[in-house]
Amino acid sequence: MKIIMLGAPGAGKGTQAKKIADRLQIPHISTGDIFRANIKNGTELGKEAKSYMDAGNLVPDSVTLRLVMDRIAKEDCQNGYVFDGFPRTIPQAEALEEALRAIGQKIDFAVDIEVPDENIVHRMGGRRACLACGATYHTVYAAPKKEGVCDRCGAALMLREDDRPETVKKRLDVYHEQTQPLIDFYQDRGCLKRADGTKGVEEVFLQILELIGV
């Protein structure tokens, strides 16, 4: 199954994408996580992405598309994948559609996690991320067992550079301008599903499983 997670920054795409990927035993592909791993490792790609990300802007489509096309060509993507944070612009969605069409495939579901902007800034301020293994926590809604330490790998948890309130506001503007049009794009393709992202993590997960018929 090929699934795209849509939604504003902080809507819970990563949280739900990991759970869906675990349940369906398919890879979770987060372009944000791939960029952050490259920044941490000091690669050329990381250096290029960092300036855009820290300012709350999108990384150019050409860079992102190359990275995603390489990733989905890998063996473990044969039975599907969950995209988290991709596509994020109409050109990215069109390029993905074209690449899949060329091999006789298409996206099965685009799941939009709906959360009003007012809730987002609050959620992001409480998010703590593990840059070592990609796990995500929230100081109130999904706290780690030991404060500041990743349950999964024991590394220190961080407030992401782009989760500071001024940058979150900019990311929301960019989302409304460049990513929200994808909702109509996938509605037109007949594969859009809408989930109420204001509910608790487990409740949102159950909604999504029902929407995608699992």
Instruction: Identify whether 127 is a catalytic site residue.
Output: yes
Cα of first residue to Cα of last residue in the chain, in angstroms, is: 10
Residues from 28 through 87 that contact ligand AP5 (CB under 6 A):
30-32, 35, 52-53, 57-59, 64, 85-86
Instruction: Identify whether 13 is a catalytic site residue.
Output: yes
> Which of 50, 136, 159, 185 lies at the binding interface for ligand AP5 (CB under 6 A)?
136
80 vs 89 by CB, closer to ligand AP5: 89
> Which of 77, 90, 100, 142 lies at the binding interface for ligand AP5 (CB under 6 A)?
142
Closest residue by Cα to residue 105 from 68, 85, 84, 77: 77
Residues from 188 through 207 that contact ligand AP5 (CB under 6 A):
197, 200-201, 204
- For residue 104, which amino acid is it? G
Residue sitting closest to ligand AP5 (CB): 32
Sign, Cα dihedral of 198, 201, 203, 208? positive
26 vs 135 by CB, closer to ligand AP5: 135
Instruction: Single out the catalytic residue among 36, 88, 128, 193.
Output: 88
**Residue 124: partners with Cβ closer than 8 Å, 6 or more residues away:** 9, 10, 163, 165, 168
Instruction: Identify whether 128 is a catalytic site residue.
Output: no
Could you list the beta-strand ranges (E) of 18-86.
Answer: 28-30, 81-84
3-state SS class at 114: strand
- Exposure string over 138-153, b if 16+ CB within 10 A, otherwise e: beeebebeeeeebeee
CB of 111: closest distance to ligand AP5 in angstroms?
12
104 vs 164 by CB, closer to ligand AP5: 164
The span from the CA of 120 to the CA of 165, in Å, is: 10
Could you list the active site residues?
13, 88, 127, 160, 171
Instruction: List contacts with ligand AP5 (CB under 6 A).
Output: 7, 9-15, 30-32, 35, 52-53, 57-59, 64, 85-86, 88, 92, 123, 126-127, 136-138, 141-142, 162, 171, 197, 200-201, 204
